[in-house]
């Protein structure tokens, strides 16, 4: 019964990570590509749109796969600690791919009928750097937990 529960829990968390790391960003970038507001077209002028979607999808697949193995592993096992650490490192690479793919500087052109009226530029680089800092602290915490478990596993299991 415990193994089946762990597999179901792994599948549920894998689906959650697929939704949050792949589906929502893909739909957001697709929806934002061209928006009409009161007859005024707002067009995303991101040149590397396909490159951004590729890297977000690639890291999203890896994160989802490690989420399955992380959440389907038994509690306090070396496998769970290893996959948790790998998943956190992949999350850092996922955020890093946002930063260096050009997704932190989002530029829209405002098009009214035939003429371009102007542009809007949104810079979310500081928010991404803050998120990377939080993940760095999480890596330190998970690393400490992992090595603490390796050193004290006999006393923890008793």
Residue 112 resides in a domain = no
Question: DSSP assignment of 109-126, as one string?
Answer: EEEETTEEEEEEEEE-HH
| pLDDT tens, N- to C-terminus, the chain (158 residues) | 578 898 999 999 999 989 988 888 888 777 766 667 666 666 666 667 777 788 888 888 998 999 999 889 888 788 888 888 888 888 888 877 777 776 677 666 666 666 666 666 777 777 777 877 877 787 788 778 777 777 877 776 65
- Residues spanned by the domain of 97: 2-33+48-103+123-157
What DSSP character marks residue 21? I
Residue 18 resides in a domain = yes
Number of structural domains, the chain? 1
Four-residue CA torsion sign, 133, 135, 140, 141: positive
pTM of the model: 0.70
What is the predicted pLDDT for the residue at 68?
93
């Amino acid at each position: 019964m415990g193994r089946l529960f762990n597999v179901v829990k792994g599948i549920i968390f894998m689906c959650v990570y697929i939704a949050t790391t792949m589906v929502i960003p893909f739909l957001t970038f697709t929806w934002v590509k061209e928006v009409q507001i009161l007859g005024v077209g707002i067009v995303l002028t991101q040149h590397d749109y396909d490159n951004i979607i590729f890297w977000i999808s690639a890291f999203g697949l890896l994160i989802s796969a490690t989420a399955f193995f992380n959440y389907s592993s038994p509690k306090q096992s070396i496998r769970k600690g290893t996959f948790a650490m790998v998943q956190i490192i992949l999350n850092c690479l996922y955020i890093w791919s946002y930063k260096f793919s050009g997704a932190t500087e989002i530029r829209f052109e405002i098009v009214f009928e035939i003429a371009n009226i102007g542009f809007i530029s949104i810079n979310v680089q500081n928010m991404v750097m803050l998120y990377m800092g939080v993940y760095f602290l999480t890596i330190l915490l998970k690393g400490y937990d992992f090595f603490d478990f390796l050193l004290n596993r006999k006393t923890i299991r008793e």
